Structure 1
């Protein structure tokens, strides 16, 4: 996979996680552990994207 392809794939996953976080936060009984995990995954992808864009 090319570098641009990998960046696009990670960006799509980042957007998907953002949507999942938003959906979970709107639930009346939002699960804090689920939110924490989703946010951690999103941050990890953000760091990978930053690393790939620099190289």
Structure 2
């Protein structure tokens, strides 16, 4: 897998997590812990995307 295709895949996962966070925040019964976990995953992906972009 090329670097650019890997970055694109990470961006898709980031967008998917972003949608999941939005949905979780609107849904009743979703705990703050679950939302925080999703946000942390999203942040880790964003950091990885930025790190790879700097290498490129």
TM-score, normalised via structure 2 length: 0.93
Q: What RMSD over aligned residues (CA atoms) do the two structures have, in Å?
A: 0.7
> Gapped runs of 5+ residues in structure 2?
none
Distance 2:6 2:41 in 1: 16
Moved more, 24-33 or 8-17: 24-33
SS state at 1:28 partner: coil
- Moved >2 Å (runs of 4+): none
Count residues with an aligned counterpart: 55
Partner of 2:36: 36
In structure 1, stretches of 5+ residues that fail to align are none
